[in-house]
Amino acid sequence: MKNNKISGAEAVIRCLLAEGVDIVYGYPGGAIMPVYDELYKFQDQLHHVLVRHEQGATHAAQGYARATGKVGVAIATSGPGATNLVTGIADAQIDSTPMVCITGQVGKHLLGSDAFQETDIIGISTPVTKWNYQVTEAHEIPEIIAKAFFIARSGRPGPVLIDITKNAQFDELDFSYEKCTSIRSYTPRPTLNLEKVKEAADLINNAKKPYIVFGQGIILGQAEEQLKALVEKSGIPAAWTILGLSALPTDHPLNVGMLGMHGNYGPNVLTNECDVLIALGMRFDDRVTGNLATYAKQAKVIHFEIDPAEIDKNVKTTVAVLADVKESLTALLPLIESKTHDSWHNEFKEKYKIELEAVINEELAPTNNRGISMGETIEMINKHSNGDAIMVSDVGQHQMFTCRYSKFNTSKSNITSGGLGTMGFALPAAIGAKMGMPDREVVAIIGDGGFQMTIQELGTIFQTKVPVKIVVLNNEFLGMVRQWQQLFFDKRYASTEMINPNFIAIAEGYYIKSKKVTKREELDDAVAEMMASKDSYFLEVMVEKENNVFPMIPTGASVSDIRLS
């Protein structure tokens, strides 16, 4: 009689293949070794990428997920392997990134005994996962993995962690796999209330100064075409959060720019002058709203959102449309009247002229014998990418300059750590993005501080030969903290000046072609050479040490109090 039994470890691999997974990022260890043994046997079907630190596995999985729209997968062992995943899991949770993490665990009989490399990763990860589960029996594996992928990708996406004891990996089960399509009491896609859509349409059609603010929900909901159709039909100016960036092409005439602490002048100031504020797939984060007591108090607020927890959490709504944003915008579009709102648009144009004069011109074409600026470096990359590259930024001043000045033609092109602000994100995330989208150019923009947090992932690039382009904007400071110290702490630069190593020598130690730019006249040719390279490339640009990002809304201030200097 034929035996259909397989080990739990083999079941893990077969479940991943059934879910269409083609790449996993991870680091082996004792408690996950049975799964790695099966990975070895299935290596022609499932590509495993050996990172140099488990945190790198989660960020690479995030980059892959953000660039492709698929679920990213990371694997680690128990104890320190599992705890090293937590930062990336927390990052994925707050940025709504679909990810499944699989960790090994000590045998069931050892749970709670403080065995070698035993850590309660379920307890640790509960606050930062959409769902987690500890598997202690082999027969549970197919059902739990199916649930994990369904939960991670459905509704508002997020990270899921599955902890599998070693006995469950070794024991056998009768294997069969069925994808999960529903879970009792879990409603990831609320039922659209068409009356709410009509209320929203009436407010929009009667508005004199309507204003759209859109976030990553547009990208996650694959509603880019509906957004474009809405702004074009309604004539409403639209601004974006940093995670919403690239959902609408940056050169679209109705795209008025970036919201938030370092966003554009007009989009922030005019938030407090619109009469109807239409929020699409965004959560009114504090970096966008500034002081909530003074945020858009004159406006009627319409919130299109899939997660009921976000409705009225920060900003009180007039009309809440709780549904999948693609479905709700599709229902809204036929009800919207065609308009232009020319005089309202002119207000944005006037504010842009002020910002252009006070900030942008000097940043993109520095005068007064200034050193190289971060903004002009981004502008040079635009010149050679034609707006077609995926830009993966780390966290800090360079992140704000990247988001402010990058040009994008297509969606899923801006990948950065938004809500958690994780330094070290960009290098491994760029690896995942490039592996997920091999036909697109991927450029990582990193500060000298963040680069050293995950610098070991140069080893992953060297081993895999993934052709990512790495740009370190080196100002020899933890630049964003230094800016705050300059503006608000009387220039007491406490622990922010960086004494850096020879980055070129380190990159060349990993056999990555490298170049260092110290003069403005070298920048164009260096960026051209980098973008033309078929292999990975490391470019270090020595930028001004004390260049600041403006505009800026000080913490606790109103969006109307945005500073230009």
Query: Which residues are part of the catalytic machinery?
Result: 54, 116-117, 166, 480
DSSP per residue, 152-187: HHSSS--EEEEEEEHHHHHSEEE--------BTTB-
Residue 187 has a CB neighbour count (10 Å cut-off) of: 12
Q: How far is CA 330 from CA 58, 162, 224, 336, 486, in A?
A: 34, 36, 11, 11, 48
Ranges of beta strands (E only) in 91-236 are 99-105, 131-135, 159-165, 172-174, 210-214
In angstroms, rounded to a whole number, what is the distance separating the alpha carbons of residues 461 and 428? 9
**Separation between Cα atoms, residue 282 and residue 420, nearest integer Å:** 16
Half-sphere exposure of 488 (CA within 13 A, CB side): 10
| Distance set, CA 294 to CA 238, 258, 560, 561 (Å) | 21, 19, 9, 10
* Whether the Cβ atoms of residue 371 and residue 563 lie closer than 8 Å to each other: no
Give me the torsion for CA of 386, 389, 392, 397, rounded to 10°: 0
Do residues 243 and 418 touch, judged by C-beta distance below 8 A?
yes
Record the tokens describing residue 70, joined without a space: 């698929």
Contacts (Cβ under 8 Å, ≥6 apart) of 378 = 401, 402, 404, 405, 406, 445
Cα–Cα–Cα angle for 314, 224, 146, nearest 5°? 80
Strands 5-7 and 172-174: antiparallel
How far is Cα 65 from Cα 159, in angstroms, rounded to an integer? 11
Candidates 556, 476, 466; CA nearest to 518 is 476
CA 107 to centroid of chain Cα atoms: 35
CA 242 from chain center: how many Å? Answer: 9
